[in-house]
Amino acid sequence: MVLNDADAMQLALAEADLAAAAGEVPVGAVVVKDGKVIASGRNAPVDGHDPTAHAEIVALRAAAQVLGNYRLDGCEMFVTLEPCTMCSGAMLHARLQRVVFGAADPKTGAAGSVLNVFAHPQLNHQTQVQGGVMAEECAQLLQDFFQHRRAAQRQARHVLREDALRTPEGRFTDLGDFSWTTHYINDLPALAGLRMAYVDEGPQAAGLTYVCLHSKTGWGYQYRQMLAPLLSAGHRVLVPDLVGFGRSDKPKKEAQHSLDWHGRILREWMQHLALHHVVLVVQAADPLGQALLTAMPEVFHGLLVLQPASAHEADNAPFPDLGHRAAPRAWARRAAEQGAAAATGISHEKMRQLACPPGSQAAQQAAIYLT
Ligand SMILES: [Zn+2]
């Protein structure tokens, strides 16, 4: 039986499938002579630690062994992806009669996409090139591969560190009034792979951005009733769960929860989001809030100090057991060590100076929704 182009490309696709199964970028190739496959190859640079192990090179080497000749006169190459410069050059050296490829490669293709090695009369006297045979199938295979790989990488980025806990999602499902989308970040240097959760609602271009810090025993849920009125007033509202609280990862060691560390995380997070014109909202005087105001005054437009909300049963949802409570334990111990006055740090007068004007809409909303 003599193979037609589609049959030969189908065999190259089967090689590409095998490459994908081995975790390599799925590109496959076969060499055909007199209508019969004499050699095949699949992409394998990762497995072989070999930058030249492209499907075409592998297939060329195998074909040359079969023929006992480095010149592959009268042979045709079928490859699922447009060859790169290296492979195109090798094909010219092998004096292939014809090259047929499937999908074009707009990034590194050297058979017409980026450049065309085969179109130089000084280099090439005999090799014909044809592209686009079963192009859709060939491209789909590559797309699927990269899509799966990206999904796997996303998954890997959210792997929980061994020295941390993550509250099961089921603890949050029965809570009312809190259907905001949770965003996660874990690629800030200070987080060192831990995952921090936050709510980010409202337009990015809003005139004011409210950053709401929860109390030292609670989590972002404390702001559930303040979000809607602030959003309807056109503001952007961000509510982080500090690391160790809420949906954020919870390091088990109390010593991890230094004020300095939490301050660095929040600064990096705010810089990452490129926030400006920020109104900082804190529950009572808060050394973490004070540290932020001092470290990046240019970012802040105002400060809103709320009456501490009465403890809500749902505050306990993020802490299924004592093991999850390293962060609140650490905060409580530090407050006790420093004494209440020192822990406050910032005077009420100073806070008033920074605060939103009394009677402002935001202050009224805060008074309504958090007392
Ligand atoms: Zn190549």
Q: What is the pLDDT along the chain (371 residues), one digit of tens a residue?
A: 678 999 999 999 999 999 999 999 999 999 999 999 999 999 999 999 999 999 999 999 999 999 999 999 999 999 999 999 999 999 999 999 999 999 999 999 999 999 999 998 888 778 999 999 999 999 999 999 999 998 888 777 778 889 999 999 888 888 877 888 999 999 899 999 999 999 999 999 999 999 999 988 889 998 988 898 899 989 999 999 999 999 999 999 999 999 999 999 999 999 999 999 999 998 877 789 989 999 998 999 888 888 776 777 777 888 888 888 899 888 888 777 765 444 344 444 444 444 444 445 555 544 444 43
202 contact partners, CB below 8 Å, separation of at least 6 = 209, 230, 231, 234, 235, 236, 237
Helix (H, G, I), strand (E, B) or coil at 266: helix
The structure tokens listed for 38 are 């004499």
Ligand 1 mean position, distance from CA 23 (Å): 17
Contact assessment for residue 203 and residue 252, using Cβ atoms and an 8 Å cutoff: no
Torsion of CA 338, 344, 346, 350, to 10 degrees: -160
- Active-site residue set: 56
Ligand 1 mean position, distance from CA 65 (Å): 19
**pLDDT value at position 369?**
45
Ligand 1 mean position, distance from CA 56 (Å): 6
Helix (H, G, I), strand (E, B) or coil at 102: strand
**pLDDT value at position 158?**
77
Question: Which residue type occupies 255?
Answer: A
CA end-to-end span of the chain, whole Å?
A: 85
Ligand 1 mean position, distance from CA 127 (Å): 16
pTM of the predicted structure, to 2 decimals:
0.58
Give dist(CA 260, CA 287) in Å, integer: 10
**pLDDT value at position 364?**
52
Q: Which one, of 156, 102, 157, lies nearest residue 131 by Cα?
A: 102
**pLDDT value at position 338?**
63
Ligand 1 mean position, distance from CA 85 (Å): 7
**pLDDT value at position 345?**
43
Q: Which residues pair with 31 in a beta bridge?
A: 39, 77
Tell me the residue length of the chain: 371
